[in-house]
Amino acid sequence: MEFHHDDQDFIPETSLVLSEKQALLDLNATFTTPSHTNPAMAYLMSLGSKRSRQTMGSFLTIVAKMIGFSSLKNCQWGALRRHHIQAIIDMLSDANKAPATINTYLAALKGVALEAWALKQMDTESYQHIRQVKSVRGSRLPKGRALTSHEIHALFKSCENDNSSKGLRDAAILSVLLGCGLRRSEIVAINYEHIQFRDHAFLVRGKGNKERMSYMPDDTWDRVQLWIDEIRGTLDGPLFTRIRRFDDVTNERITDQAIYYILETRQQESGIDKFAPHDLRRTFASAMLDNGEDIVTVKDAMGHASIMTTQRYDRRGDDRLRKAARHLRF
């Protein structure tokens, strides 16, 4: 498949079977903990979004297998100790995982330890020792890229050349991704009644169940209106819907994966380099900053809790370094 995921942090369990350290981690997988007393399940339920639960759940499943259990549900989390955590960190480092990825594992394990302590499955001293494990230092170059204006034009041209209903729908979706910087999960959750017509905006519910207003550029507004006027209609319900074979427009909400497939199709039709769906969000952030918007405004537009998160989406630095290098003469 030409198109690629951003899921570079997923680690197959086979890459982590390091026998020397495995001996340190055997906690004896001989029982199943009921879900209501399972520290890992309690931790996952405390997370604010489905995506976070999926991500951390997959990380904890990997850890459970690293320490000799078949799943996070039958892992004896209350028996974890500081030396287990340190060994897990060493194994992840040996597998060449990025510091940020390792620290995400560490955050999950500390969260599970807190729940184990709350459930009286871990003593206070052991929990405090785990709490004090320090984060891994270091960094990696940011993943992903911003699309060029030529690539963006080619994607829209692919939609324009499609005379079916999908052409108008996909152009509107692409325009919302680029013009509003929304996440795929946020786009699929938008209903017609979430449109603020006077302000040319969407009422968006993002991570952490936080609502924000997402304002559309004129081109985005025009494409969304064209999809509504020509194809969708004005009934309440999902804004972007599934279109079956033979141009059968349904009222079924599209999914995250459907948007992935739409972008994959348009990328292949336009002949541009492969990109991840999240690169459109990076493109939005870079364009906003390049237009002189302050980073706090961009943070709010993207629904980020931290400016540091927004800074990681800025891809302008690569272009500046590239141009500077081209000006050198020896």
Which of 65, 97, 183, 315 is labelled catalytic? 183
Token pair belonging to 236: 């309440």
304 annotated active-site = yes
Which of 84, 281, 299, 315 is labelled catalytic? 281
| Contact predicate 274/267, CB 8 Å | yes
Lowest mean pLDDT across 3-17, 75-89, 228-242: 3-17
281 annotated active-site = yes
Instruction: Just give the CATH number of 149-325.
Output: 1.10.443.10
Amino acid in position 209 = N
What does residue 242 show for φ and ψ, rounded to 5 degrees?
A: -75, 140
183 annotated active-site = yes
Which of 65, 266, 304, 315 is labelled catalytic? 304
Task: Compute the half-sphere exposure of residue 55: CA atoms within 13 Å on the CB side of its CA.
Answer: 15
Q: What is the pTM of this model?
A: 0.65
327 annotated active-site = no
pLDDT of 323 = 63
Which of 43, 105, 127, 313 is labelled catalytic? 313
pLDDT of 297 = 87
Task: Compute the half-sphere exposure of residue 291: CA atoms within 13 Å on the CB side of its CA.
Answer: 9
Q: How far apart are CA 39 and CA 114, in angstroms?
A: 8
Residue span(s) of the chain under CATH 1.10.443.10 come to: 149-325
278 annotated active-site = yes
Which of 207, 242, 253, 312 is labelled catalytic? 207
Comparison of pLDDT for 25 and 308, the residue scoring more = 308
Residues 277-310 pLDDT 10s? 999 999 998 888 888 888 888 888 888 888 887 8
pLDDT of 23 = 43
